[in-house]
Amino acid sequence: MIPGQVQLDLFGEVEAAEQATRDYRQAVANWQARFERGYWTAPWDTQGGTPKGGRVLGWRCPDPECGEIEPGPTGFALELNHGFDPGVPGREPFDGRCYKVRLRRAQQRAEAVR
C-alpha cells in the first residue's frame, strides 16, 4: 500500500472486531454486576491468622437461596465452594445454581426417602 492511502474494509472485519470488543466489555460488566462484596466473620481462629470474630472482606454467592459470604480478595473460595467465579465471565455451575444449595436439596431428598 502506498503511504497516505486508505485501505477500505470491504468485508467489515474492523467493525465486527470493534463490535465484538464492545459486546465482550458489556458482558463482563453485566457479569460483575451480579456479585457483591461483604464481610465474613471468622467462626474460629483461622490458619491465615484471622482471629475468632475477626472480619475479612469476601464475596457473596449470587444464588438467591444461598447468599453466603466466602472470605478472600479473589473469588477462589466462592468458585470452589459455590461454583461461581466473579473474575471469569460465565464461570458458573452448569444449571446456574449454587453447589451448596444443590447439596442441601440432595440431602433433604435422601432424608425423605429414609
Query: What confidence tens digit (pLDDT) does each residue in 21-40 have?
Result: 999 999 989 988 989 999 99
- Note the pLDDT tens digit of each residue in 81-113: 999 988 888 888 888 889 999 999 999 999 998
pLDDT of residue 1: 56
pTM over 0.85: no
Domain membership flag for residue 30: no
Position 18 in a domain: no
Expressed as residue numbers, the domain containing 89 is 36-113
pLDDT category, 13, cuts 50, 70, 90? confident
Whether 40 maps to a domain, the answer reads yes
Q: Is residue 55 part of a domain?
A: yes
- Residue that the C-alpha cell 459470604 belongs to: 69
Dihedral sign for Cα atoms in the order 67, 73, 75, 81 = negative
Q: What is the mean pLDDT of residues 55-62?
A: 92
**Does 60 fall in a domain?**
yes
Determine the Cα–Cα distance for residues 34 and 67; give it in Å rounded to an integer.
12
What backbone torsions phi and psi does residue 71 show, to the nearest 5 degrees? -75, 155
